[in-house]
């Protein structure tokens, strides 16, 4: 795979990521039409496939891939489409059983849109109050999943130990902000 594209995904190069996202979007939509996927689902599937690419890039899996960026992206999308079809088929057969059954039970619908918990709201609020360097450090470590060694190497820190102590200070600051917050 094209290493500069993998590096762009891994290093969060916003400009190139946006270009890649837009470059293959319409082509993926056309590709997915042959699988009888609704347009609203196509957008979700493409988004999920692109995020999957980014996750694989961050983990380093894409450097050894022999296919092109587009082929790999469309392959991820195709697997997501197959999973959607399987999920739809299982729901359809389950719904058919429900409608054919002579049952005294009501069908219960569950709202899948979840609101953030109070703890998640607090974390988001106080995370925004941290300095930019702490936000970056915690994002690289916990959201992007980079090791201390990878952070040190990619972002010019003196050593892995420096990253570890910086991350520790940032976490301590965040914990103290949350602990002392009026609830």
- Domain boundaries of the chain, sorted by first residue: 3-100, 118-179
Q: Is the pLDDT of residue 172 over 90?
A: yes
Say yes or no: domain 3-100 is CATH 1.10.1740.10.
yes
Where residue 114 falls among pLDDT bands split at 50, 70, 90? low
The distance between the two most distant Cα atoms of the chain, rounded to a whole number of Å, is: 70
Q: Is the pLDDT of residue 148 over 70?
A: yes
Q: Is the pLDDT of residue 107 over 60?
A: no
Least confident of 27-31, 36-40, 52-56: 36-40
Q: In terms of pTM, does the model score above 0.85?
A: no
**Assigned CATH topology for domain 118-179:** Arc Repressor Mutant, subunit A (1.10.10)
* 118-179 has the same fold as 3-100: no
Alpha-carbon span 69 to 35, nearest angstrom:
21
| Confidence (pLDDT) at 91 | 59
Helix or strand or coil: residue 167?
helix
Q: Taking the chain, what is the end-to-end CA distance rounded to the nearest angstrom?
A: 50
| Confidence (pLDDT) at 108 | 45
CA dihedral of 22, 26, 32, 33, whole degrees rounded to 10: 160
Alpha-carbon span 140 to 150, nearest angstrom:
9
């Amino acid at each position: 795979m094209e290493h500069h594209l993998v590096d762009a995904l891994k290093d969060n190069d916003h400009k190139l990521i946006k270009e890649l996202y837009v470059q293959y979007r319409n082509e993926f939509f056309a590709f997915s039409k042959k699988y009888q996927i609704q347009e609203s689902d196509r957008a979700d599937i493409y988004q999920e496939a692109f995020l999957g690419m980014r996750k694989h890039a961050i983990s380093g899996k894409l450097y050894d891939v022999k296919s092109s960026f587009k082929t790999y992206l469309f392959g991820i999308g195709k697997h997501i489409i197959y999973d959607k079809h399987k999920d739809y088929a299982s729901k359809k057969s389950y719904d058919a059983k429900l409608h054919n059954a002579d049952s005294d039970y009501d069908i219960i619908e569950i709202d899948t849109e979840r609101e953030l918990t109070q703890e998640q709201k607090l974390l988001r609020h106080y995370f925004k109050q941290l300095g930019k360097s702490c936000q970056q450090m915690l994002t690289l470590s916990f959201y992007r999943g980079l090791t201390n060694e990878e952070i040190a190497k990619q972002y010019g820190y003196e050593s892995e130990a420096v990253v570890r102590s910086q991350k520790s200070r940032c976490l301590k600051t965040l914990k103290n902000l949350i602990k002392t917050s009026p609830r």
